[in-house]
Amino acid sequence: MKNILFLFLLLQFTSCNSQHSFKSIGPVDFEKGLSQPGIQLVDVRTTEEYGDKHIANAVNINIDGDNFEAEMKRLDKNKPTYIYCLAGSRSAKASDWAWSNGFKQVYNLEEGVNSWIKSGKPLVDAKGETIRRTKGMTFDEYLKRIKSSDKLVLVDFNAVWCGPCKTLKPIVLRIAKKYSTKVDLLDIDVDMHADVSNTMNIQSIPMLLVYKQGKEVWRNLGLVDEDVLDDKLKELSN
């Protein structure tokens, strides 16, 4: 009987606790939440990402910064706190930290700014001015570019705020020029071409992809040595 009672109490305890956590919500519900008075909106991306574009009235607290915890602790734990990043992973981590540290209501934006842009929600620049959207390349146009080329297609997914992307860019340009008769370079800014990056589920950059006869044959996430990229394109072009 004691064992049964113990199991019952344990199940009650664990079931109640499982319901207490931050909530991940989509852009529509996230935007509705932001319309309420007295909320806190936190952008946990880098300063560069935030400066490029962010949701209006967000405060920037970089989750990878040295002062993340100290800055978060300055916020009011009793106010609803809405947190976002680029694709949702960093904000989920930050939301978990906030909940674990006594914040009462914590909401994470599912798929981050990517889902916000895809839903047509507004963003502002460093001056607080609303960013005018460009149409960008559609996914169908992306596929057409890949399939119509009789060369290898080297796709570079990047963004202006991405430090590693800036480091990789001249390497990619040199290699593309060297193999110009065998390789077409397709530069994809993930912000300008959100339809492509979202459909391709590009959550981290820089990302390089190589297509041959319309099929993906190689990909690399992050920085890559110039000799490695050179050897790979030489191999695939033969």
Q: Which has the higher per-residue pLDDT, 148 or 3?
A: 148
Average pLDDT on 182-211 reads: 92
- Choosing from 42, 63, 146, 165, the catalytic residue is 165
Of the spans 134-143, 189-198, 213-222, which averages the highest pLDDT?
Answer: 213-222
Average pLDDT on 165-172 reads: 96
- Choosing from 86, 159, 162, 172, the catalytic residue is 162
Nearest residue to 106 (alpha-carbon basis) of 137, 85, 81: 81
CATH class of the region 139-237: alpha beta
Average pLDDT on 134-151 reads: 91
Half-sphere exposure of 235 (CA within 13 A, CB side): 9
For residue 81, report the phi and psi dihedrals to the nearest 5 degrees.
-120, 120
Q: Give 12: exposed, middle or buried? Use CB within 10 Å, 0-12, 13-18, 19+.
A: exposed
165 is catalytic: yes
Structure tokens at 186: 């397709």
| Check whether domain 21-118 has CATH 3.40.250.10, yes or no | yes
16 is catalytic: no
36 in Cβ contact with 44 (< 8 Å): no
Q: Is the pLDDT of residue 19 over 60?
A: no
Nearest residue to 99 (alpha-carbon basis) of 22, 15, 14: 22
Q: What is the pLDDT of residue 1?
A: 53
Domain boundaries, the chain: 21-118, 139-237
- DSSP assignments along 11-39, one per residue: HHHHHHHHT-S-EEE-HHHHHHHHTSTT-
Residue with token string 């981050």: 112
21-118 and 139-237 have identical folds:
no
